Structure 1
Amino acid sequence: MLPHNEIGTDPGAIRAYAQGIEELGVDHLLVYDHVLGVDRGRPGGFEGPYDKDVAFHEPFVFFGFLAAATTTVDLVTAVVILPQRQAVLVAKQAAELAVLSGNRFKLGVGVGWNEVEYEGLNEDFRTRGRRQEEQVDVMRRLWSDDVVHFDGEFHSFAHAGINPRPSQPIPVLFGGGAPALVDRCARVGDGFIPLGSPGSKSAAQLAGIARIRAEHGKSMDDFEVYAQAQYANGSPERWKSHHDAWRDLGATHLAIATHNAGPTDVDGHLARIEEYQRSLA
C-alpha cells in the first residue's frame, strides 16, 4: 500500500520506492484516491478520516509515472471513487494505463463517503451506487468495442469509441462493505477489495459474494480478493496471524500498509515491508 501521506513529492524518491518494492518481490501496489480534502475548521465543522492536511497522489497520473519506472508490479487503485468522475474519461485513462504498463493496471472502484468531493466535482452524491454499476458497463464496452452506442439512465451517446484500447480486459475490482456494494461486486466485478480485518464481517461478505456468484452461474476461480494489513502496532506473530486469516478466508492478495507507524523515509518503508515478509517466511 502506497504510504500516500508519507511518500512525499520527490519524483526520485517515488521512483526509488517503486523500484525498491519490485526488488523485494512485491507483485502489486495499491493507491488510494481522494481529490478534495475538507477544512475541519469550516462552518459547521467536518467529521471524516481524511481532511485537507492529508496528502493523496492522483492515481491515474501517479500510475502513468510508475508505468515507466517499473516493469513487473501490478498497479491497482484502491479505490477510485468512480461516481464522482466521468465514466468515459475514466475509461480512456484506464485504457491508456493498461497500454503503457503492459496490462499491469487493475481498476479498483468505490462509491466514497465524502459528499464535499461530489459537490466539488459537480456530481450527485445520492445516486452514486446506481451510477457506479452503469459506469462499469460503459467502460467495459468502450474497452472492447470499436464503436459504442449506449443509452442508459445516466449515460447516453452513440457512434463513438476510444482509441487506443487495451489488448486485454481491464479487471474491475469493487471496494467497500455495504450490502448493495457486495451484491454489485458479486454480479459484475472481477474482484473485491474488503475493508477492515479478516473477521466475521469480512467472512460473511466473501461468503455472500460466493453465493451470489453461484446464483448467477459464476465461479470464484478467477475472482481476486485484495486484502490489506497494517504494519503499525504489529509484531511478527500478529502479522503472520493476519496473513493466515486472510488466506483462509480466500484472499488472493495482501497489501502491507507501512504508514502511520512513526516517521520514516523511503528506505524505512522498504525495510518495514522486508520485515513483514520475513515474518511470513
Structure 2
Amino acid sequence: MEIGCVLPHHEIGSDPGAIRAFAQGAEELGMTHLLAYDHVVGVDRNRPGGFEGPYDSNTQFHEPFVLFGFMAACTTTIEFASAIIILPQRQTVLAAKQAAEVAILSDNRFVMGIGVGWNDVEYDALNEEFGNRGKRQEEQVDLMRRLWTEDVFSYDGEYHHFEHACIAPRPSQSIPILFGGSAPALLDRAARLGDGWFPLGTPNDKSAARIAEMKQAREAAGKSWDGFEIRAQAQYAGGDPDRWRGHAQKWADLGATHIAIATHNAGDTDVDGHLARIAEYQAAIAD
C-alpha cells in the first residue's frame, strides 16, 4: 500500500505559510499522496429548526481546487486527492475546468475523488437540486471525461446541454475519478464508472462485502479489476503502534492500494506536531 496523509483541514488554519509547510513536510516524509475534504458552506446549528451533522458553520474547509493549485507550486512529487469533492452541488463544466487546471499545474498529480454529500442546506446555498444528485453525478462523470479529452463537441444529456464547445487548455491525460461513499447505488457507479473507491468505514466485514459487490458489478460491466484503486484512511487519534499496524494490515488484506494518515482530532498541535504524528504512524506501519 502507498502511504499518504490527510490535511488537518480545520486545525491547519488559514496561514498560507503553515499550509505550505505541511505540504512540503508531508512530501519530505515520503508521503505519496495528500487528501483534502470538501465543504463549501457550513450551517449554524442554532438556526430555526436546528441542524444535525458532523460539521457546522464553525468548521473550516479549504477549497480543494485552489488549495491543490497552491500546493502544486510548493511541491514536486506528492499527489493530491480530493476525498471527496461533492460534485453534484457544483456546476459540471466549471468543475471540469478547475480540475483540468489543477492537473496541468501539478503535472498530472491530481486524483479527483467525488461524492454526492449529505447536506441539503449546502445544496440550497449553491442553487443545486439535492433530490437527484445521484443521477446527475453519473452524467457529470461522462461529461467531464469528454471535456478533458475532446476538442469541440456537442452534448445533449438529461441534465446538460450545449452545442459546439470545449474547455482549453486540457490536461495531457484524463484525470482519474474515484467515488466515495457506501450506498449500494454509489458502489454500483464506482464499479461501472470509476477508477477506484474511497471507503468511509473501517476494514471489516461490511467493507469486504462492498468490495466484493464492486468486483461483481465491474465484472458484469466487462471491466477489469486490475488497476482499480481502494484508497483507505487511518486515524491517528486513539491509537497506538499495535492498533495502527493491525488496522493497516486489515486494509491491505482487503486489497487496499493506498492508506492516508489523518492526524486531526488528536489534541492541539501545530504543523510540526501533525507531521510528527504522521511520521510516528508511518514508522509503525512501515513493514
In the alignment, what sits opposite 1:190?
Answer: 195
Q: Does 1:76 align with 2:92?
A: no
Displacement, 1:168?
1.0
Q: Does 1:49 align with 2:49?
A: no
Q: Which amino acid aligns with 1:267?
A: D
In the alignment, what sits opposite 1:13?
Answer: 18
SS in 1 for 2:256: coil
Q: Which amino acid aligns with 1:238?
A: R
Q: Does 1:145 align with 2:117?
A: no
Displacement, 1:81?
0.2
In the alignment, what sits opposite 2:136?
Answer: 131
Q: Does 1:113 align with 2:113?
A: no
1:153-232 alignment, distance < 5 Å: 153-232=158-237
Aligned residues: 281
Displacement, 1:216?
1.3
Displacement, 1:169?
1.3
Q: 1:104 aligns with which of 92, 109, 127?
A: 109
Q: Does 1:88 align with 2:93?
A: yes
TM value normalised by structure 1: 0.99
Q: Deviations over 1:119-138 (max 9, x none)?
A: 00000000000000000001
Whole-angstrom distance in 2 between the partners of 1:225 and 1:47: 29
Q: Deviations over 1:153-188 (max 9, x none)?
A: 100011000100010110000000000000000000
Q: Does 1:273 align with 2:278?
A: yes
SS in 1 for 2:172: coil
Whole-angstrom distance in 2 between the partners of 1:148 and 1:183: 28
SS in 2 for 1:78: strand
Which structure is richer in relative contact order (CA contacts within 8 A, separation 6 or more)? Answer: 2
Whole-angstrom distance in 2 between the partners of 1:193 and 1:270: 23
Q: Which amino acid aligns with 2:171?
A: P
Displacement, 1:208?
0.7
Q: Which amino acid aligns with 1:81?
A: I
Whole-angstrom distance in 1 between the partners of 2:90 and 2:182: 21
In structure 2, stretches of 5+ residues that fail to align are 1-5
SS in 1 for 2:261: strand
Deviation above 4 Å: which 4+ runs of structure 1? none
Q: Deviations over 1:53-102 (max 9, x none)?
A: 01000101111100101110111000000000000001100110100000
Whole-angstrom distance in 2 between the partners of 1:193 and 1:98: 20
Whole-angstrom distance in 1 between the partners of 2:256 and 2:46: 40
Displacement, 1:246?
0.5
Displacement, 1:225?
0.8
Whole-angstrom distance in 1 between the partners of 2:194 and 2:239: 32
1:231-250 alignment, distance < 5 Å: 231-250=236-255
Q: 1:260 aligns with which of 245, 265, 272?
A: 265
Q: 1:31 aligns with which of 31, 36, 45?
A: 36
Whole-angstrom distance in 2 between the partners of 1:190 and 1:280: 26
In the alignment, what sits opposite 1:2?
Answer: 7
Q: Deviations over 1:175-224 (max 9, x none)?
A: 00000000000000011001011111111111111111111111111111
Identity of counterpart residues, as a percentage? 68
Whole-angstrom distance in 1 between the partners of 2:224 and 2:250: 22
Displacement, 1:257?
0.5
